[in-house]
Amino acid sequence: MAGLEPRPGDFVVEKMRMSAWEGSRLETILKATGRDILIDTGAWTNMSIEHTARTGADKGYFMIVPEDCCSTMNAEWHNASINFALQNVSVVTKRGRRDQGDRVNARGPKEDR
């Protein structure tokens, strides 16, 4: 998506399973860099996004799901995830509400806040 390309110093985590936590280096990177916020985007809102958000919340991470940066097979499934399932495990936002070029970054260690 335009404006969200990886920048120098960003980590890109490739996932091969339904949840980004399984079989990837995601948690290793987050712990090593002292991050506790994750922005969850991509395909299969009702499957991959939900699995990743639920597991992240269970692990104590602050999960953000930009609604318009996710998709699935049909609007009904997407809306069910966004309006119900993800409400208890994440903050659901819309990227379009932010100024163009503005970017949400994961914050550093809790003691730096």
Q: How far is residue 83 CA from its own chain's centroid?
A: 16
pLDDT tens digit string along 62-104? 999 999 999 999 999 999 999 999 999 999 998 654 443 334 4
Residue spans per domain, the chain: 36-95
CA-CA distance, 23 to 96, in Å (whole number)? 32
- pTM for the whole structure: 0.77
18-42 residue pLDDT tens: 999 999 999 999 999 999 999 999 9
Return the beta strands (E) in 13-99 as ranges: 37-39, 42-43, 62-66, 70-71, 91-93
> 58: closest CA among 104, 21, 25?
21
